[in-house]
Amino acid sequence: MEFCYIMENKDIELSEKEFSMVKERIFEVAGISLSDAKRTLVISRLSKVIKKLSLNSFLDYLDFLKGSKASKKDAQDFVNALTTNLTRFYREDHHFDHLENYIKQIIATKPRTSNNGKPRLRIWSAGCSSGQEPYTIAMCLYNKFPELKRWDFKILASDIDTEVLKKAAGGIYPETELAGLSANRAKMFERPGNGTIVIPKYIRETVIFKPLNLFHKWPIKGPFDAIFCRNVAIYFDKPIQNQLFSQLSEVLAPDAFMYIGHSENVGRNNPQFSLSGKTLYQYHAPQNSRAVA
């Protein structure tokens, strides 16, 4: 009986040809460049999907995805399995210190208003994973500037992984997520006493979660006053990284800021951005350009 259990849970073997085919497919559908170092990850994560479909090999699975029997969910499950979601509340602390100072300037000038006459603030968390980043943005700003409750303030939170978005939208996390947070930051969470923490309703209503493949055309106009796109570009090759940053500039408001990951760099191919601090860039719009309201 023990022998059978081991066999049932053994990972499926992956040939070099099959690995190349997996890498080609994830690049085609999501622009993600998998290195050879990700081979073990591919075996571990996709083996579970293949077994669930009662298939016998990676080749069978790849043929299945190309066939008419594969649903949109099957195609999405492939992407979900190969995306990595590592995040926490108040990750890259210096970004939120900068954000507070930047939004303080916006509040002082109130540069734009919405159709309802309220001051307008828009922030995008691109690659939001399980939601800690956009919720941190909201909690950070509401804690510092309570008057934002009277603004037209929204945060778009997008990710290619539909499973983590479902978790994010619920706004419920284990209480261990509070580890390392100051008392001032921890007080923003609701604690029902069952080992979880809950994002308050008014904060959940500020954040709009949407599935989005950054490799495809975006149904987004902007302009955004800030964009967080952290630890996303690292999964793309250099040409796609340059394309991504260029597209992000098109939906940023003039002089707005973009926050990226500690191992990422906008590079010389995107001169519209200037480095303003550790992993944060300011966008300088051409004089004849106008962001869409």
Confirm if 259 and 229 have CB atoms less than 8 A apart: yes
Query: Does the active-site annotation cover 112?
Result: no
Q: Which amino acid is at 172?
A: I
CA atoms within 13 A on the CB side of 104: 9
- What is the CA angle 40-46-48, rounded to 5? 110
Helix H, strand E, coil C: the string for 116-156 is CCCEEEEEEEECCCCCHHHHHHHHHHHHHCHHHHHCEEEEE
Q: Cβ of 216: how many Cβ atoms within 10 Å? A: 11
Query: Does the active-site annotation cover 159?
Result: yes
Listing DSSP states for 39-60 in one string gives: HHHHHHHHHHHHHHTT--SHHH
Report the C-alpha gap between 288 and 290 in whole angstroms: 7
Report the C-alpha gap between 204 and 190 in whole angstroms: 12
Of the candidates 39, 45, 88, 91, the residue annotated as catalytic is 45
Token pair belonging to 85: 């979601």
Token pair belonging to 169: 């939208």
Of the candidates 77, 159, 161, 225, the residue annotated as catalytic is 159
Report which of 44, 49, 218 is spatially closest to residue 127, judged by C-alpha positions: 218
Specify the residue for token string 């939001």. Answer: 128
Catalytically active residues, by annotation: 45, 159
